[in-house]
Amino acid sequence: MSAPENPFEALNDAAKETWQRFLDTYEPLRPELYRYCRHLTRSPWDAEDLAQDRLARAFVTLAQWHQSPPSSPRAWIFRIASNLWIDRVRARRETSLPEREQQRAAPEPQATREAAGTLISLLSRQERAAVVLKDAFELTLEEIAEVLVTTTGAVKAALHRGRAKLAVDEMPAPVRIPTPAVVNAFVDAFNARDLDRLISLLVDDAALEVVGATDEYGKDAVRDGPMKGMLFGTRRVVDPMARQFLDLEAHDQMLPESPRAELRIHRGEPVVVLWYQHKDGEFVRAFIQLEVDGDRIVRVKNHFYGPEVLREVCAELGVPCRTNGYRYWRRGEPSH
């Protein structure tokens, strides 16, 4: 007697296929989506988080859609990003300092060199979104009203108020956050290719996220999945069999050597930079952010996919960069 079929396996396969078809359709909008989120959040990391969350929110929203498909995918995707960002700001205000006080307490050094980013920080949520959509993306008043779910008159008023506030003030340098010892220990263990030591630095229920690709929870899942891939995944890149399924066009020059980790300070905070060997030299292809609680790591966040945030952070750090696209599977191919 054969074992009963697991209904969740079929559901998982169907969900993956639908999600990948959704990404195939909306992927051309990803650069603009990141740029819009970047103007709203004034941080490359927050912009990438907002863009990823927006994609997930849009996927669920579309699955529950009972009307005709959105007539303007661009405006629709901006609308969901705006709503999600406004929800985040509102929640943050309810639990901590007002937004303007937060900005004074934790300024960003790049803001004085980013025209829109600097100016936008002075505006309210509605003013900020209206000015960005008009001046950076050149949407019409009617399109902005659709994105912000308001009237053209309200958009005009927000633009008038916002533009009246646009005066750049010199912002102080960031306060550097001390690097916890466990972060240095992570870098040392990574460069030693010591998987056991890396896992020992994590709390038992630690999470590892490869942004845009996967989330794993718990030491065993982290060890056997993404952590091992981060250390030794380059071997698969050069495997001829893997090329049947993986989107590897950007990796043709990569060598099967494990990446080298290096600790850098970005905007006052420690970030782990991953250097990859290529036939023509060494390039940064990923960043790792570590969330620490005491002397243990509770979350590892790997930015391997996401060309926009990789390019921006590499430019700010002054390091050579190569990007990896948005996905690990070929367009039209199921993930494995």
Give the pLDDT band (50/70/90) at residue 160.
Answer: confident
In a domain? residue 173: no
Report residue 298 as tokens.
């509770």
CA distance 334 to 21: 10
Residue-wise pLDDT for 301-321, tens only, equals 999 988 999 999 999 999 999
Q: CATH number of the domain that 204 lies in?
A: 3.10.450.50
pLDDT over threshold 90, residue 326: no
Q: pTM score, two decimals?
A: 0.71
Interatomic CA distance for residues 141 and 154, integer angstroms: 10
Ranked by mean pLDDT, the top range of 3-17, 55-69, 139-153, 261-275 is 261-275
Q: Is 37 exposed, middle or buried (0-12, 13-18, 19+ CB in 10 A)?
A: buried
**Residue 33 domain-assigned?**
yes
Q: In percent, how much of the chain has pLDDT > 90?
A: 28
Average pLDDT over every residue of 258-275: 94
Q: What is the mean pLDDT of the chain?
A: 78
Q: What pLDDT was estimated at residue 69?
A: 66
pLDDT tens readout for residues 207-235 = 999 988 888 999 989 998 889 889 988 77
Residue 172 lies in a domain: no
In our burial notation (b when 16+ CB lie closer than 10 A, e otherwise), range 110-139 reads bbeeeebbbbbbbbebbbbbbbbbbbbbeb
Q: Residue 198, Cβ neighbours under 10 Å: how many?
A: 23
Mean pLDDT, residues 274-284: 93
Residue 274 domain flag: yes
- Cα-trace Rg, the chain: 22
Residues 159 and 12 grouped into a single domain: yes
Domain count for the chain: 2
pLDDT at 288: 96
Flag whether 152 is in a domain: yes
| Token digits of residue 221 | 């899942």
Cβ atoms of residues 334 and 20 within 8 Å: yes
CA distances from 302 to 48, 210, 258, 297 (A): 12, 5, 15, 14
Q: Does 189 lie in the same domain as 143?
A: no
Residue 84 — very low, low, confident or very high, per pLDDT cuts 50/70/90?
A: confident
User: pLDDT tens, 165-207?
Assistant: 764 444 445 567 788 999 999 999 999 999 999 999 999 999 9
Q: Is-contact 328 212, C-beta < 8 A?
A: no
Q: 309 lies in a domain?
A: yes
Mean pLDDT of 106-128: 50
Q: What CATH code is carried by the domain that includes residue 71? A: 1.20.140.160
Considering the domain architecture, whether residues 82 and 212 belong to the same structural domain is answered as no
Per residue in 15-49, pLDDT tens?
777 877 888 778 888 888 888 888 888 789 988 98
Residue 333 lies in a domain: no
Q: Same domain for 198 and 158?
A: no
Whether residue 259 sits in one domain with residue 149: no
Q: Are 146 and 140 in contact (CB under 8 A)?
A: no
Least confident window among 11-15, 104-108, 222-226, 285-289? 104-108
pLDDT band (50, 70, 90) for residue 250? low
pLDDT at 115: 36
Helix 141-148 and helix 152-164, axial crossing angle in degrees, nearest 10: 100
Rounded to whole angstroms, the Cα distance separating 244 from 247 reads 9
Helix (H) or strand (E) holding 78: helix 73-95
Mean local confidence (pLDDT), 279-292? 94
- Whether 212 contacts 218, CB under 8 Å: no
Instruction: DSSP for 234-301, please give it.
Output: HHHHT-TTGGGTB--GGGTTB-SS--EEEEEEETTEEEEEEEEEETTEEEEEEEEEEEEETTEEEEEE
Domain that includes residue 79, residue range? 7-164
Euclidean distance between CA atoms 137 and 284, whole angstroms: 30
Is residue 154 domain-shared with residue 186, that is, in the same domain? no
In a domain, 137, yes or no: yes
